């Protein structure tokens, strides 16, 4: 009888610790993630023709951002990660404000104080194409402040890198949701 009780206890302990390990493993996957690459396909907002692709790839020095965009007017265009992965409204306003999980002020991508979403400007040539590549030291692909599921917005005007909290970059000409890639 005693032996049977003992065995039951061992079984219970075994089950509980086993399940604990299982749920911790899965929680880790869900909240911390292990994403090495993300992608955002941009679609034009109403009345615009701007589209493109942005990839975010983890490197030792930070997240490498590569943007290839077309359909822009010549010149500089504000380029940010916004707080909601919601491009459902015709004007892109459902994407919310700049992604700013650490409560910082708006700034340039290389400045000490900036929103996590502040990627500065893209510069389009005469054909309306823009290509940008840089390593971002602030953007995170994993953890609580991951950019996965947020959005990228391209603006009609230049981000002046100082006006709070938007950079005064004007209307939203393209929007896309950031997803985890293989
Ligand atoms: Cu923006
Ligand atoms: Zn900002």
Q: What is the pLDDT along the chain (182 residues), one digit of tens a residue?
A: 556 666 655 555 444 444 544 444 444 444 457 999 999 999 999 999 999 999 999 999 999 999 999 999 999 999 999 999 999 999 999 999 999 999 999 999 999 899 999 999 999 999 999 999 999 999 999 999 999 999 999 999 999 999 999 999 999 999 999 999 99
Is 155 marked active-site? yes
Query: If you measure from the C-alpha of residue 3 to the centroid of ligand 1, how many angstroms do you get, rounded to a whole number?
Result: 67
Distance 100 CA to ligand 2 centre (A): 7
SS3 content of the chain, % helix, strand, coil (to 5): 20, 35, 50
CA separation for the pair 141, 10 (Å, rounded): 41
Q: Which-ligand-closest: CA of 165?
A: 2
User: How far lies 80's CA from each of 98, 146, 168, in Å?
Assistant: 7, 14, 12
Q: Which of 77, 114, 118, 159 is catalytic?
A: 118
Determine whether 131 is an active site residue: no
Nearest ligand atom owner, CA of 79: 1
pTM for the predicted model, two decimal places: 0.82
Q: Is the dihedral of CA 154, 158, 160, 165 positive or negative?
A: negative
Number of other residues whose CB lies within 10 A of the CB of residue 50 = 25
Tell whether the torsion through CA atoms of 177, 178, 179 and 182 is positive or negative. positive
Any catalytic annotation for residue 77? no
């Amino acid at each position: 009888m005693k032996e049977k009780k003992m065995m039951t206890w061992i079984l219970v302990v075994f089950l509980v610790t086993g399940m604990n390990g299982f749920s911790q493993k899965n929680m880790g996957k869900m909240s911390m993630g292990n994403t090495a690459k993300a992608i955002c396909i941009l679609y034009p907002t109403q009345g615009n023709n701007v589209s493109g692709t942005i990839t975010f790839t983890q490197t030792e020095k930070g997240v490498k951002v590569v943007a290839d965009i077309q359909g822009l007017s010549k010149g500089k265009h504000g380029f940010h990660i916004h707080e909601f992965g919601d491009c459902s409204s015709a004007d892109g306003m459902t994407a919310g404000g700049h992604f700013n999980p650490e409560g910082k002020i708006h700034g340039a991508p290389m400045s000490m104080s900036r929103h996590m979403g502040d990627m500065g400007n893209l510069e389009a040539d005469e054909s309306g194409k823009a290509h940008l590549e840089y390593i971002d030291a602030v953007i995170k692909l994993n953890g609580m402040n991951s950019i996965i599921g947020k959005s990228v917005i391209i603006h009609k005007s230049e981000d002046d890198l100082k006006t709070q909290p938007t950079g005064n970059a004007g209307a939203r000409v393209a929007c896309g949701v950031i997803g985890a890639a293989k």
